[in-house]
Amino acid sequence: MRRVAAVLIVLIASFAFSAFSMVNPDYESPVVKVVQYASPAVVKIDVVRTTYTSFDPFIDEFFKRFFGEDQSPWGFQRKSTAVGSGFVFDPKGYILTNEHVVHQAEQITVTFLDGKKYDAEYVGGDSELDIAVIKIKTKSAEKFPTLEFGDSDKLVIGEWAIAIGNPLGLQHTVTLGVISALNRKIPKPDGSGYYTELIQTDAAINPGNSGGPLLNIHGQVIGINTAIINPTEAVNLGFAIPINKVKRFLNDLVNIGKIRKAYLGVYIQDLTQDLAKALGLKETSGAIVTQVVEGSPADKAGIKVNDIIKEINGNKISSASDVVAIVHSYAPGDEIQIVVERDGKTIQFNVTLSEQQEEVATVEEGYSKFGITVDNITESDRKEFSIPDRIEGVIVKYVEPDSTAYRVGIRRGDVIMYLNRKKIENLNDWKEAMSKVKSGDVVALMTYRNGVRRYITFTISE
């Protein structure tokens, strides 16, 4: 009997373990299929670029603090490496990634899942939107695996999101999460403005994921992973550029190597508490129009001076920089809806954007004060005015002919690096410094033009 009982116990235990192991025996996660489909088209991007340093970090800091230089005159060049991600979207070897991944790259190498390595060349990109296209160098007619674009306008909060990339160089890492939020706005790390209309996900994204695809459960690309929140402040907060925004500019990047900027044709500035109070307004949200360029898209649509821009295509406007960022996220010819407040009434305008031409760059959106309009320095500004990357500040976009600024010699293309003793690195620094300047004050601006720096001083008039 004991022997029979022992056999029964073994049989029962075996049955129990067998039954437990058979839970969902034929189940396969749909994520597995997405990864199997997508991974062959995702690449690791290794970049080599030249950076500058000196033998003494104290000297570097001295020249950066007092002269705006990234290195001392006695510095030397060194090669540095960086890693990012990307994905093939055209069988000829065209790859999408972030501009910050391949910016100023002297050597680009891409590695596929199967270990094959290829040299690649920079085709075109845009720092403001942080998107870039590179192309594999190959003499053969080899066709590369590609990913299909999805429709980011149809995303719903809570749906699956899958990220594939190379965080910290760990090749082809897969992370899973959901779409946490849509239309997010976060400041750029360098303070040059904002990323707008971002997809937020809790799929883990780390340094090295930049440029990689964010996929839906169907294996379609819905975004390009581009930013994270400082992990010391928060976790599981990653952001991706919506793929529909990228698609607007893809032909330009491939065919002409740059993005044609959309043009609205207004001067705008932040609606501060003092300004709102003076104008009898209850709220400070939005950006106030201070000038409308004759014949511009804004003018044709009916936008007027003192209109307060509250929304663009459903995106809430809290500052002038929001307007610039959102307008530049659309292509020439796109129609956008702008909601303004005028005399206490809400009015919506349908505006067809035109292309920003070099000859009308002086009337682009910016921040106006004492006769000049300034803005953050773009890559096209650096090329047009031969501004080295080490030079930081704001660039003068327009100078009123009869202004004090014009009489003392400030011209379009000048870079303002310091206001009195305040170092200016971006538009936010400029606004903060200008908020402390009063009528009757004497200001000293350190400007940069054609390799020469000089101080320009004048008195702020009434």
CA distance 306 to 428: 22
Query: What pLDDT was estimated at residue 55?
Result: 47
Q: Which of 46, 60, 72, 100 is catalytic?
A: 100
Asked if residue 238 lies in contact with residue 205, where contact means CB atoms within 8 angstroms, the answer is: yes
Provide the 10 A C-beta neighbour count for residue 435. Answer: 11
For the chain, domains (ranges, CATH) are 37-136 (2.40.10.10), 152-255 (2.40.10.10), 262-358 (2.30.42.10), 368-459 (2.30.42.10)
pLDDT of residue 393: 92
Query: CB count, 10 Å around CB of 421?
Result: 9
Active site residue 130: yes
For residue 369, what pLDDT is reported?
A: 59
Annotated active-site residue 100? The verdict is yes
For 378: left if phi > 0, alpha if psi spans -120 to 50, otherwise beta; the answer is beta
CA distances from 278 to 28, 263, 272, 314, 409 (A): 64, 30, 10, 28, 32
Q: Is 153 a known active-site residue?
A: no
Which pLDDT score is estimated for 370?
Answer: 66
Q: What confidence score (pLDDT) does residue 75 get?
A: 47
Mean pLDDT by 10 residues, the chain (462 residues): 55 52 77 94 91 50 44 56 93 94 91 94 90 91 93 95 89 93 81 79 88 95 86 76 94 89 84 76 82 88 91 88 85 93 91 69 44 83 86 86 75 88 86 80 84 78 57
3-state secondary structure of 45: strand
The single-letter DSSP state of residue 344 is T
Tokens of 316: 């809430």
Q: Categorise residue 279: left if φ over 0, alpha if ψ from -120 to 50, beta otherwise.
A: alpha
- Which pLDDT does position 72 carry in this prediction? 44
The two tokens of residue 106 are 């002297």
55: phi then psi, degrees, rounded to nearest 5 = -75, -15
Give the pLDDT of residue 93.
Answer: 94
Q: Which of 130, 307, 375, 414 is catalytic?
A: 130
The three-point CA angle 178-193-152 to 5° equals: 30
pLDDT score recorded for residue 233: 65
pLDDT of res. 364:
38
| pLDDT on residue 437 | 79
User: What pLDDT was estimated at residue 168?
Assistant: 82
Q: Is the dihedral of CA 276, 281, 282, 283 positive or negative?
A: negative
Q: Check residue 366 and give its pLDDT.
A: 45
Q: In angstroms, how far apart are the furthest CA atoms of the chain?
A: 113
The pLDDT assigned to 318 comes to 84
Strand partners, 448: 415, 453
